[in-house]
Amino acid sequence: MSDIRSGDNIDLSQGRDYGTDCLTEFLNEIGSEITGACMIPLNLPQAEIINVIKRAVKWFRKNYEYSLRENYFHVPNGVFSSQSFKTTRTLNFPKENATTGAGEVFSIYGVYDLASGWNTGGTSLDLRFTSGADFNIEKMFFSNTFAGTGAAESAEELQYYVINQSYFDMARQILENPLSFNYSQLTGQLKFMGDTPKGDVIIECYESIEN
């Protein structure tokens, strides 16, 4: 049974240490796999194995979910007032790190205008219950319990809450016009196809990790 870790003994600031010979061990494993654990009389140079891996990276990132990580970009609204954006209506994302292969934005799956109330409370159609409000969700749940009517009434209140939130989520998608965009992984350009964002923008993407 593992120990429960708490207090100052936990250090969450350090990344995982995979060792300095990670690349060598990986190349040896690939070479062993190609030669059938050295049963095939074939010895591929490490340089050629690296070339094979480089050619397979794009396919690997497209088909293997653990080769990418989710990330977020915050774009200030002032960027959309620049002459460069007005001319091309595009944002240019940097290429991957030449040494590690990390940092390339492989795909973008969400672009949200903060002026439309993305992930915020009390704006536009966002009617979620928040702690400290006059009618928060805790009061709704426990009012029937303390009134002596039991859990059945609370279950109905929960059902109404879920239905109402689903309704408002759908209404937000219809009434708060989503930003239309197109992203090219080949050029790293994100083109805005519709309206210009009215506020800061949050971009959700998949980004490559270290090779």
- What does each C-alpha distance from 51 to 44, 112, 136 come to in angstroms? 11, 39, 59
On whether residue 125 sits in a domain, the answer given is: no
d(CA 44, CA 54): 15
pTM of the model: 0.55
Q: Which long-range contacts (CB under 8 A, 24 or more apart) does 47-55 make?
A: 53/211
Question: pLDDT value at position 117?
Answer: 57
Contact yes or no for 88/80 (Cβ under 8 A): no
Is 72 inside a domain boundary? no
Provide the number of structural domains found in the chain: 2
Does 27 map to a domain? yes
End residue of a domain, out of 63, 89, 120:
63
pLDDT one-digit tens code per residue, 130-172: 444 445 666 666 666 666 666 666 677 778 778 887 887 777 6
- Is 166 part of a structural domain of the chain? yes
Q: Is residue 158 part of a domain?
A: yes
Domain hosting 154: range is: 137-175
pLDDT mean over 183-197: 88
Question: Closest Cα partner for 89 from 211, 200, 194?
Answer: 194
pLDDT digits (tens, 9 = 90+) for 16-48: 666 667 777 777 777 777 776 667 677 777 777
Q: What is the number of other CB atoms lying within 10 angstroms of the CB of residue 49?
A: 16
pLDDT in tens, 76-124: 999 999 998 999 999 998 887 766 767 788 889 888 888 765 554 444 4
